[in-house]
Amino acid sequence: SQQGEEDPQALSIQEGENATMNCSYKTSINNLQWYRQNSGRGLVHLILIRSNEREKHSGRLRVTLDTSKKSSSLLITASRAADTASYFCATEKLTGNQFYFGTGTSLTVIP
């Protein structure tokens, strides 16, 4: 299965600390994306990294991709209480337009 897995399943940190979550997947991909889901809401896209990229930044977000290990990490720096949400990685198959999600990391940022 293409399904990815996030690690850890749950993460609780103090405001101001950094949060790191990891994603592993199984097959070759076009790109890997990270999404955020607030409770009771739809998913919102955060950042996309293509298979030929190794690192990408967007504001307080830093994403790395290691295609040899089939893994990615998402770093949120200087976390805020408003960052509390579930975070999912999604991989797009080489054939395109097929996105498979991981199991999600539930992040709680304590004020």
Partner 1 sequence: DTAVSQTPKYLVTQMGNDKSIKCEQNLGHDTMYWYKQDSKKFLKIMFSYNNKELIINETVPNRFSPKSPDKAHLNLHINSLELGDSAVYFCASSPRDEKLFFGSGTQLSVL
Binding stretches for partner 1 (CB under 8 A): 30-31, 33, 35, 37, 40-45, 48, 86, 88, 90, 92, 96-101, 103-104, 106
Task: Please identify, using beta-carbon distances, which residue of 96 and 111 lies nearer to partner 1.
Answer: 96
CB of 97 to partner 1, least distance (A): 5
Tell me how far apart the alpha carbons of residues 13 and 21 are, in angstroms, rounded to a whole number: 12
Helices H / strands E in the chain, number of each: 0, 11
Instruction: Please say whether the beta carbons of 34 and 88 come within 8 A.
Output: yes
The minimum distance between CB 90 and partner 1, in angstroms, equals 7
Query: In the structure encoding, which two tokens stand for residue 99, read together?
Result: 């996105």
Q: Please, what is the minimum distance in Å from the beta carbon of residue 50 to partner 1? A: 9
Indicate the residue among 71 and 92 with the shorter CB distance to partner 1. 92
- Report in angstroms how near the CB of residue 110 gets to partner 1 at its nearest: 21
Structure tokens at 32: 């890997």
Residues 6+ away with beta carbon under 8 Å from 43: 35, 36, 37, 88
Q: Which is nearer to partner 1, 40 or 111 (CB)?
A: 40
